[in-house]
């Protein structure tokens, strides 16, 4: 009995040590950011209107970009952006190239096992861009089988396409016009992506004979800022700032500026949930 009591005491002591070490590491990360006076942010710069360069400008902007700029400003930090493809963002976060990622990144159970997330700053759902004349032969999600879907190799949207039997045609850090042109010319059949992003992309590139599918709305989503696993102090600082921005109307103002609607609130539409897909 004494041995069991001793082992239990040792185990409890180890737990407290591990928790303390985790708290120290989290505080140390925040201390390093404060000491540098700068936060390094990974984003694509090609995802209109979340993260993009306006035509003729070298100044990065977008809903996500302006959110993180405001957060950095309120935390009294400078900001440095690292433009990169979506397929390299999470690995860049793991290896310390960037402090966090903001790029319309969806919160999923699989990602939460590997990374820390802020509270959501955007709520949306998923849609498909298809050819206007025949909806690319797609009238239900099951019709994706055998179709070609343009997208990034590691995105949730590509996982959805593969789940329904589509072939994913992958791109590097391509701009929206590349994806849309390929649906128009038949190289691909669809682009599966966020409703707000797709709606505005279509408005920006009216030369293509493509539309949002009128009948298919699925997979409700939450987008948040991604940080290294265990970033408790940084996550708390960012969540407190996001709460202030929600309370004072900044999130709504930025959303209406870039989307023409308030994407910081959950949509009221009836959105189909996808069964059997482990994201």
pLDDT tens digits along 9-27: 444 444 443 444 445 566 8
d(CA 129, CA 199): 9
pLDDT tens string 153-188: 889 999 999 999 999 999 878 888 999 999 999 999
Asked if 65 contacts 51 with a C-beta cutoff of 8 angstroms, the reply is yes
pLDDT for residue 236 is more than 50: yes
Looking at residues 48-60, what average pLDDT do you find?
94
Query: What percent of the chain is predicted at pLDDT more than 70?
Result: 91
pTM given for the model: 0.82
Mind listing the domains of the chain with CATH numbers?
A: 2-106+227-248 (3.40.190.10), 123-220 (3.40.190.10)
Pairing label, strands 226-228, 115-117: antiparallel
pLDDT value, residue 7 = 47
Interior angle at CA 122, CA 233 and CA 75, nearest 5: 35
pLDDT for position 5: 53
Are 43 and 81 spatial neighbours (Cβ–Cβ below 8 Å)? yes
Q: Say if residues 161 and 151 touch (Cβ distance below 8 Å).
A: yes
Burial class of residue 270 (count of CB atoms within 10 Å of its CB; 0-12, 13-18, 19+): exposed
């Amino acid at each position: 009995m004494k041995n069991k009591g001793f082992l239990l005491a040792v185990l409890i002591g180890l737990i407290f040590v591990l928790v303390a070490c985790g708290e120290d590491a989290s505080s140390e990360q925040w201390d390093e950011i404060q000491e540098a006076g700068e936060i390094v942010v990974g984003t694509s710069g090609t995802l209109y209107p979340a993260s993009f360069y306006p035509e003729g400008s070298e100044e990065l902007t977008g809903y996500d970009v302006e959110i993180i700029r405001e957060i950095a400003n309120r935390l009294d930090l400078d900001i440095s952006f690292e433009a990169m493809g979506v397929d390299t963002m999470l690995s860049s976060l793991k290896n310390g190239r960037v402090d966090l990622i903001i790029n319309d990144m969806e919160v999923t159970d699989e990602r939460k096992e590997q990374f820390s997330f802020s509270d959501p700053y955007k709520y949306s759902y998923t849609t498909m861009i298809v050819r206007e004349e025949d909806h690319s032969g797609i009238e239900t999600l099951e019709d994706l089988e055998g179709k070609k879907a343009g997208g990034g190799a590691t995105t949730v949207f590509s996982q959805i396409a593969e789940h329904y039997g589509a072939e994913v045609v992958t791109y590097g850090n391509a701009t929206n016009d590349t994806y849309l042109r390929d649906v128009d010319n038949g190289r691909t059949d669809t682009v599966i992506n966020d409703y707000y992003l797709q709606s505005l992309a279509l408005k920006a590139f009216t030369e293509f004979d493509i539309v949002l599918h009128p009948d298919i709305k699925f997979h409700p989503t939450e987008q948040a800022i991604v940080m290294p696993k265990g970033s408790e102090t940084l996550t708390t600082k960012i969540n407190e700032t996001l709460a202030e921005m929600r309370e004072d109307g900044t999130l709504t103002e930025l959303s209406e500026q870039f989307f023409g609607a308030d994407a910081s609130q959950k949509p009221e539409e009836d959105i189909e949930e996808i069964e059997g897909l482990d994201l």
